[in-house]
Amino acid sequence: MEVFALIGESGTGKSYKALLVAHKFNINYIIDDGLLIRKDKILAGHSAKREKNRIQAIRTAIFEEPSHAYEVKETIRKAKPAKILVIGTSIRMIDKIIKTLELPPPKRIFKIEDISSEKEIEEAKLSRLKEGRHVIPLPGIEVQRKFPINLLESLEIFYKRRYGKRKIGERAIVRPPFSYYGKLYISENAILDIIIYILKDFKEVVKLGKSQINIKDDGILVNLNLVFLYGENIQQVGLKIQKYLKKELEYITGISVILINIFVYDLKY
């Protein structure tokens, strides 16, 4: 199986361009927003566009729910596709989806900037921001048949050939429930409160000192100053805290954790 990836920020038109990329490279299977799609049919999964909030939409898109991931994995295993296109907002997201679904590493990675003009990307962003319009690379009738959602319109996609245009598929433009609520912001203080709560599970931690939380577009950066109980293996405990914090923070917030630095500045009996 050959895996291809298409990467671009949210709202830049990835799902729209996916059909063109799939057509050009003869890819019949697409993974997009929690769905496994073959040509104009949904084979498995459920769409992140159905979710009522952005956090749950992110979890759905990366197949965080085990039963969701299992359904898609089993369908891929039985279908044995020669090529599959995975769509995501970042390399980290692509890697997470590939790991969860047990797919091979990408053979080729496309960036939305490589296949769309600046004008097309800006128009897509404006449409997402002002109107909450999202694209699903499926015909409108298939979208309505599979799940209830606010369908705005269904448009045909054409590929320009030397002797005319050739239709390669349709796309559905929808407005998901979470689009009505605007953007979701999580403050650094809220992240810190979650960390303080999680650290209560570690008897090795005596005190949390002055720490720094930085929320960027692609994830969270964390710098923690801790006091450990004397006699503990600092390296082992620190690694355990890093792994646990990353897992819990990503689950609770739906935001990727890029880095967790732990500084042990004192030991106490």
Let me know whether 19 and 118 are in one domain. Answer: yes
> Do residues 91 and 7 make contact, with C-beta atoms less than 8 angstroms apart?
yes
72 and 131, same domain (yes or no): yes
CA–CA dist 234, 125 (Å, integer): 46
Query: What is this structure's pTM?
Result: 0.60
**Order of all β-strands in the sheet with 164-175:** 134-136, 164-175, 150-161
Query: Which residue(s) pair with 32 in the sheet?
Result: 35
249 in the same domain as 175: no
Low pLDDT (below 70) residues in the chain: 124-185, 217-218, 254
Q: Specify whether 176 is located in the same domain as 192.
A: no
Q: pLDDT at position 134, please?
A: 64
Where does a domain end: 139, 158, 181? 181
Taking residue 255's Cβ as centre, other Cβ atoms within 10 Å add up to 18
Residues 158 and 200 in one domain: no
Q: Do residues 247 and 198 touch, judged by C-beta distance below 8 A?
A: no
Give the chain's domain count.
2
- Length of the chain measured in residues: 269
Q: Are residues 16 and 45 in the same domain?
A: yes
Same domain, 39 and 148: yes
134 shares its domain with 218? no
Domain extent, residue 230, equals 188-268
My answer on whether 174 and 199 are in the same domain is: no
- Which CATH number does the domain housing residue 213 bear? 3.30.70.1350
For residues 128 and 251, what is the distance between their CA atoms, to the nearest angstrom?
Answer: 26
Pair (221, 253) in one structural domain: yes
Can you spell out the DSSP letters for the chain?
-EEEEEE--TTSSHHHHHHHHHHHTT--EEEETTEEEETTEEEEE--GGG-SSHHHHHHHHTT-SHHHHHHHHHHHHHH--SEEEEEESSHHHHHHHHHHTTPPPEEEEEEHHHHS-HHHHHHHHHHHHHH--EEESS-HHHHHHHS--EEEEEEEEEEEETTEEEEEEEEEEEE-GGGGG------HHHHHHHHHHHHTT-TTEEEE-S-EEEEETTEEEEEEEEEEETTS-HHHHHHHHHHHHHHHHHHHH---EEEEEEEEEEEE-
Residues 235 and 145 in one domain: no
Give, in degrees to the nearest 5, the angle at Cα 104 between 99 and 108. Answer: 110
Do 65 and 131 contact (CB within 8 A), yes or no?
Answer: no
Chain centre distance of CA 78: 25
